[in-house]
Amino acid sequence: MLPENYQPAAGLLKDRVILVTGAGEGLGKAAALAFARHGATVVLLGRTVKKLEATYDAIEKAGGPAPAIYPMNLGGANWNDHGELANTLGREFGRLDGVLHCAAHFKAFARLQDVEPREWIENLQVNLTAAFAITSQCLPLLEKSPDASVVFCSDRAGREARPFHAAYGVAKAGLENLSRVWALETADRPQLRFNTYCPPPLRTGLRQKGYPGEVLDSLPLPDSVTPQLLWLMGPDSRGQSGKTF
């Protein structure tokens, strides 16, 4: 269980280097801003440079540590691209204290039998394979941190079979298992922790794709859940690994 009414300390993430995927919008952007407000140097990864620059500018305007931008199209990235990301982070920062996997690909609800092969592949690539590859390639950098946290953003469809969630639901289910397996395999390294976080419905573009008839303004903003992500990413959640939140 996540702590209720958690109040993160002002310098909770001071001197930490945290990679956030999907940092150009939605929950990824909100989390990146919150991490920076609490002292972290945030590496902003996403497909659209203009959106990443907007997040960068917002962090600078708020007086946070200077972030870094790393454009990457996860839908077309290969193993070498993920390796180059890790090499760049190692060269620039020397270590990594956290990864928040917020990048997501979702077009529309559909029956499994109607999913086109290309959509299936791209969905698994962005929602599952990229999270695995980035974490795997960055693991040596995470091991250099005295306290590293990896958080995979999940979905209800990843925790219970739901019709018409198609490849998206299958990928999120794989992400849940991926996190638990990594926690088991790194149990001998207590400085590492791996957890999944399933946010409630939020006012994001991803939500609007799935529920176009919903009154989006009736939903809370992504900022409303950033205290939970700060707890998961910061030192107050030490010892919690392999959990679903």
Q: Which residues are catalytic?
A: 168
132-160: string of b/e by CB count within 10 Å (b at 16+)? bbbbebbbebbeebebbbbbbbbbebbee
Q: By three-state DSSP, how is residue 51 classified? A: helix
Phi, psi of 56 (to 5 degrees): -55, -50
Q: Where are the beta strands (DSSP E) in the chain?
A: 17-21, 41-46, 68-71, 98-101, 148-153, 192-197, 243-244
C-alpha 170/C-alpha 177 separation (Å) is 11
Q: Is 95 left (phi over 0), alpha (psi -120 to 50) or beta?
A: beta
Distance of CA 100 to the CA centre of its chain: 3
List the one residue out of 7, 10, 51 whose CA is nearest residue 29.
51
Four-residue CA torsion sign, 153, 44, 91, 97: negative
